[in-house]
Amino acid sequence: MSEYRYTVEVTASSVSPLAFDPSRCIGCCRCVEACQIDVLLPPQRKGGVPRVVWPGECWYCGACVMECPQKGAIRLRHPLMNQARFVERASLRDEAPGKLP
Amino acid sequence: MEWPYDNEAGLLAEEDCDVLVLGGGLAGLHAAIAAAEKGARVTLLEKGAAHRSGAAGTGFDHWEMACTNPGCTVTPEEMTRALEEEQDCFSNAIGHYIETREGWDRLLDLEKWGGKIRDTEGEFTGAPFRDDATGLMYAYDYRNRYTLRVWGTTFKPALVRRARRLGVQLRDRTEACALLTCEAGGVKTGTGGLGFDTRTGRITVFRAKAVVMAMSRPARVWLFHSDLPGLCEFRPLSSIGSGHAMGWRAGMAFTMMEKSVRGEFSAAGRSFPPYGTGNNHNTWYAATMVDARGVEIPYVDRDGRELKTVLERYLPAPGQKFFLKGGVIDEPKYEWRGPETLPFDELMRRGYRLPFYADLTGMPDSERRVIWGMMVGQEAKTRIPIYENYTERGFDPARHALQSYGTGWQSAAFLAQERQLFGAPGGVMHNWNLETSLRNVFAAGDMLYASDCAGHACATGHWAGQHAAEAAARAPMREAGRDFVEETRQRLLHPLTVRDGLDWREINAAAAKAMQNYCGGVKCDSLLRQGLEAIGELKQAAGEISCRNPHELVRTHEVSDILDVCELILHASLQRKCSCAPLFFERSDSDESLAAQERCYLTLWREDGAVREGKVPLQFYGDLTSNYEKHREGGGLDE
Ligand SMILES: Cc1cc2nc3c(=O)[nH]c(=O)nc-3n(C[C@H](O)[C@H](O)[C@H](O)COP(=O)(O)OP(=O)(O)OC[C@H]3O[C@@H](n4cnc5c(N)ncnc54)[C@H](O)[C@@H]3O)c2cc1C
Ligand code: SF4
Ligand code: SF4
């Protein structure tokens, strides 16, 4: 028995980088084992999904998703402020012609 | 909640090996494999899980400066000289020469072990960047072919398999916390390291005859974000320069630590996810750029001549032998300047309208597919968060244009005091064996001064591993200093004894603010000294951090390492008295009379509690070819 006791709480963050689909996840924890930062901990109960305990520490590398054997069981999403915009190329039109040299 | 892993706090274990490798990224794994191939018993400590850890765990797309690949027209000597002159000699010629001579061999190794280095499926047959005889795919300069496009997502798993097959003891989830050293014959000598199990808290003394350090470089020094610590830097949250910190504590010599650049990437604040916005650099070179009206932005060569075709963006200018592009190249000198879009200010003057976009729609099919699908897909952090997620959001490179932010590929504009160790920053000083100033302690990859890039990490890792194996073959196993082990153990576990103390993030944030205040864009003695005081106070305050489990302890160890790194940077900055443009080092109290004298590597290390300083001439490494021959394959240790 160690003289120190360990406990753990979720460290709150304004972002939610990861989402699990419990209907697809088989709880194999390959995602947990792939993460070099240990953002995740194994499910608390058998049959559950891994727990995102340190969401703010995610560096958005995608290793957890790459290693998951169940397509769609885990999803990674950049915070809204980091979602880059894209547009139809055809929508870019010169509205004030004759301006370019 | 209950902690799901075992509790081994307070436990002290002991293990022996010949070569101990600290860090299981590209450099560390190559070092471990090379040492094991030479017959050494190797143990490797990796803080995360080597399978996907490090900067390149999820991939990389360019293998740079592979000058001995069959297509290349630039010699290793020419390339090393170019890189050296490009950085006004504040570069790492030893590392670059090893990279240019042997990078291609490492790539062939990786292929043998299951990595993908050529277009075996013929996806790009006939493309101007593909050599149809070999299936090799080139980037940037299609004529001179020194940089390859590679399938970097396949490399880390291949390296781990190879290391396991050779019997390397891979210790994942083990944070290296300290170097063990002793005095042997009047020389400080490495004798192993201390590891902390990041899940159970067990501490292990790893005794070894030689050590290879490959823990990348410092981060979170000026840039921090308490809510999004994982996004505030370019490299993984867990790579913060612990190697530098433990080296500094042990008396290892460093150089160029006064070099830092204005921030380039911090997606917690100013920038966007790398490679995820419209740009035309690196992974996205040479995408077509258009402005808000869809008007194409011209590419010009080094003489300002407008380029008419896409292919010309990949060719040297008339009369130019080759051009330089890649990780350590920012704004190359005229001799090596390659094609670029017109500078931002010029575009504003000419009336181009923001925002700009990267527009692959009109590019030749093979160029579009290689940028979006191969490069974006194989580059680190792109496969899932960029390639797959954007595709799900509906992005179609044949139809859509991707918006660009800020003025350049960093997609951000930072303030002068928001700094980063980016490009080729300072690091560990070393000789031709990649041995540090501590005997039998070697270093590789991004830990070396003025180093960067995957191929460089692999080549120097291999070289350091070979030398470490040779050194281990002639070194005795030594006892670890008991007092030091006990002291370190208490330091590592102390936060478990603090109740209701500080959160590690508060200290990291304070350190970053102090560094912005006292070691920002323009430095001076009095500010730097204040900085040392402030960091000293934070070291005191760090004793008040409390932790409830090993995960929090690891973050806390990182913060204490960051404080040591801050100290190292402040001392290095105090040491250089004259501003130095190639090091992006500016002083308001610059002593210009020292300019010539300080055109050298200033080195510094700790000894008997004081900071010692030295000077090493810029071209100390002598003749490249003959020294390389003398030291290759682990030779030259008796020098
Ligand atoms: C997003 C991104 C894209 C890149 N793309 C390219 C590219 O296309 N081409 C290119 O040439 N370069 C690229 N690079 C750079 C390249 O990845 C690095 O130069 C290279 O990985 C450095 O190798 P290394 O072994 O020194 O460091 P890393 O590969 O980062 O490995 C360091 C290892 O040390 C471990 N570690 C750290 N501290 C400790 C400790 N205290 N104890 C134990 N282990 C520890 C880390 O967990 C990590 O696994 C890219 C980098 C990034 C971040
Ligand atoms: S994206 Fe990377 S850092 Fe984030 S949880 Fe997944 S593996 Fe960990
Ligand atoms: S790897 Fe996939 S299936 Fe396995 S636990 Fe993680 S999300 Fe679930």
CA-nearest residue, atom 12 of ligand 1 = B453
Least Cα distance to B32 among B14, B53, B17 occurs for: B17
Cβ distance of B228 and A14 shorter than 8 Å: yes
pLDDT tens track for B285-297: 999 999 999 999 9
**Is residue A13 one of the residues assigned to a domain?**
no
| Range in B50-59, B64-73, B321-330, B544-553 the model is least confident about | B321-330
Cis link prior to B355 (omega < 30° from 0)?
A: yes
Res. A95: pLDDT tops 70: no
The closest alpha carbon to B223, from B511, B423, B450, B507, belongs to B511
Mutation choice for ligand 3 from A49, A71, A76, CB with most ligand atoms inside 8 A? A49
Residues B15 and B33: their CA atoms lie apart, in Å, by: 19
- A7 closest CB neighbour out of B57, B227, B549: B549
For residue B92, give the nearest of B488, B505, B592, B431 by alpha carbon: B431
Ligand 3 atom closest to residue A20's alpha carbon, by position in its atom list: 7
Kindly identify the ligand whose nearest atom is closest to the C-alpha of B99: 1
Q: Is B575 helix (H, G, I), strand (E, B) or coil?
A: helix
Q: Calculate mean pLDDT across residues B542-565.
A: 98
Distance separating alpha carbons of residues B606 and B181, to the nearest angstrom: 14
pLDDT reported for residue B329 = 83
Query: Which atom of ligand 1 is the closest one to the Cα of B63?
Result: 11
Per the prediction, chain B carries an average pLDDT of 96
Q: Length of chain B, please? A: 639
Nearest to A84 among B7, B350, B402 (CB): B402
Residue nearest to atom 1 of ligand 3 (CA): A68
Is A10 domain-assigned? Answer: no
The answer for A 71-90 residues in CB contact with B (under 8 A) is 76-79, 82, 84-90
Which pLDDT score is estimated for B516? 98
Judged by CB atoms closer than 8 Å, whether chains meet at B2 and A13 is answered as no
Residue A81 in this model has a pLDDT that exceeds 80? yes
Q: Could you tell me the distance, in angstroms and rounded to a whole number, from the CA of residue B233 to the centre of ligand 1?
A: 13
Which of B19, B42, B15 minimizes the C-alpha distance to B165?
Answer: B42
State whether B9 and A60 contact (CB < 8 Å).
no
Q: State how far the Cα of B408 lies from the Cα of B266, in Å rounded to an integer.
A: 14
Residue among A38, A53, A76 with most chain B CBs within 10 A, to mutate? A38
For residue B238, the distance in angstroms to the closest alpha carbon of chain A comes to 6
- Percentage of chain B beyond pLDDT 90 is 94
Give the pair of three-digit tokens for residue B584: 């992006």
Q: What CATH number did the domain enclosing A64 receive?
A: 3.30.70.20
Closest protein CA for atom 2 of ligand 2: A61
Mind listing the pLDDT tens digit for each residue in A47-69? 899 999 999 999 999 999 999 99
Query: Has residue A1 got a pLDDT over 60?
Result: no
Q: What confidence tier does A96 reach under pLDDT thresholds 50, 70, 90? A: low
Other beta carbons within 10 angstroms of residue A25's beta carbon come to 20
- Pairwise CB contact (< 8 Å): A36 & B273: no
- Whole-angstrom distance, CA of residue B332 vs CA of residue B325: 8
pLDDT band at B537 (very low <50, low <70, confident <90, very high): very high
Structural contact between residues B59 and B378, judged by C-beta atoms closer than 8 angstroms: yes
Mean pLDDT of all residues in B175-191: 96
In this complex, which of A59, A89, A100 lies closest to B231 when CB atoms are compared? Answer: A59
- Assigned domain for A65 exists: yes
- Is residue B95 in contact with ligand 1, taking CB distance under 6 Å? no
Judge whether B298 and B394 are in contact, CB under 8 Å.
Answer: no
Using a CB–CB cutoff of 8 Å, tell me whether B400 touches chain A: yes
Rounded to an integer, what is the distance from CA B89 to the centroid of its chain?
Answer: 19
Q: Residue B207 corresponds to which amino acid?
A: R
Of chain B, the percentage scoring pLDDT greater than 70 comes to 99
Place of tokens 């250089």: B576
Q: Please tell me the number of the ligand nearest to residue B54's CA.
A: 1
Measured distance CA(B509)–CA(B311) in Å, rounded: 47
CA B418 to CA A86: how far, in whole Å?
29
CB under 8 A, 24+ apart: contacts of B75-84: B76/B100, B76/B101, B76/B624, B77/B624, B77/B625, B78/B321, B79/B146, B80/B624, B82/B322, B82/B324, B82/B335, B82/B336, B83/B324, B83/B328
- Answer whether B449's CB lies under 8 Å from B457's CB: no
**What is the rounded average pLDDT of the residues B304-329?**
95
Ligand nearest to the CA of B492: 1
In 10 A of CB B26, how many CB atoms? 34
Q: Do B381 and A59 touch (CB under 8 A)?
A: yes
Confidence (pTM) = 0.97
Q: What is the ipTM of this complex?
A: 0.96
Q: Which of A74, A75, A76 to mutate to test the pocket of ligand 3 (most atoms within 8 A of CB)?
A: A74
CATH 1.10.357.10 fits B495-594, yes or no: no
| Residue from A36, A81, A94 to probe the interface with B (highest B Cβ count within 10 Å) | A36
Q: Whose CA is nearest to atom 2 of ligand 3?
A: A68
Question: What are the boundaries of each domain within chain B?
Answer: 282-404, 495-594
- Whether chain B has a CB inside 8 Å of the CB on A98: the answer is no
Ligand 1 atom 35: residue of nearest CA: B23
- Cα dihedral sign for B124, B130, B132, B135? negative
Torsion over CA of A51, B274, B567 and B224, rounded to 10 degrees?
Answer: -50
**What mean pLDDT value characterizes chain A?**
92
At B174, list the tokens. Answer: 């083990």
Residues of B in contact with A37 (CB under 8 A): 48, 230, 236-238
In chain A, which residues have their Cβ closer than 8 Å to the Cβ of B272?
A: 82, 84
Q: Whose CA is nearest to atom 4 of ligand 2?
A: A58
Name the residue among A60, A16, A83 with its Cα closest to residue B393. Answer: A83
Ligand 3 atom closest to Cα of A26? 3
Q: What is the pLDDT of residues B203-253, one digit of tens each?
A: 999 999 999 999 999 999 999 999 999 999 999 999 999 999 999 999 999
Query: Which element (helix H / strand E) includes B209?
Result: strand B203-213
pLDDT at A101 over 50: no
- For a mutational test of ligand 2's pocket, the pick from A29, A58, A74, A78, i.e. the residue with the most ligand atoms closer than 8 A to its C-beta, is A58
Region for B275 from its dihedrals, namely left if φ exceeds 0, alpha if ψ lies in -120 to 50, beta otherwise: left
Do B548 and A6 count as a contact with CB atoms less than 8 A apart?
yes
Query: pLDDT by residue (tens digit) across B397-411?
Result: 999 999 999 776 666
Q: Please state the rounded mean pLDDT for residues B591-608.
A: 97
Selected residue of A9, A89, A94 to mutate for chain B interface (largest B Cβ count, 10 A): A89
Sign, CA dihedral B221-B225-B226-B227, equals: negative
Looking at residue B423, its amino acid is: G
pLDDT in the model for residue B452: 94
Nearest chain A Cα distance for residue B362, angstroms: 10
CA B450 from centre of chain:
9
A3: in domain: no
**Which of A28, A64, A67 has most ligand 3 atoms within 8 Å of its beta carbon, as the pocket-test mutant?**
A28
A34 contact B CB<8A: yes
Is pLDDT at B629 greater than 50 in this prediction?
Answer: yes
Contacts of residue A23, defined as CB under 8 A and 6 or more positions apart, other chains included, come to: none
**Chain length of chain A:** 101
**Total domains present in chain A:** 1
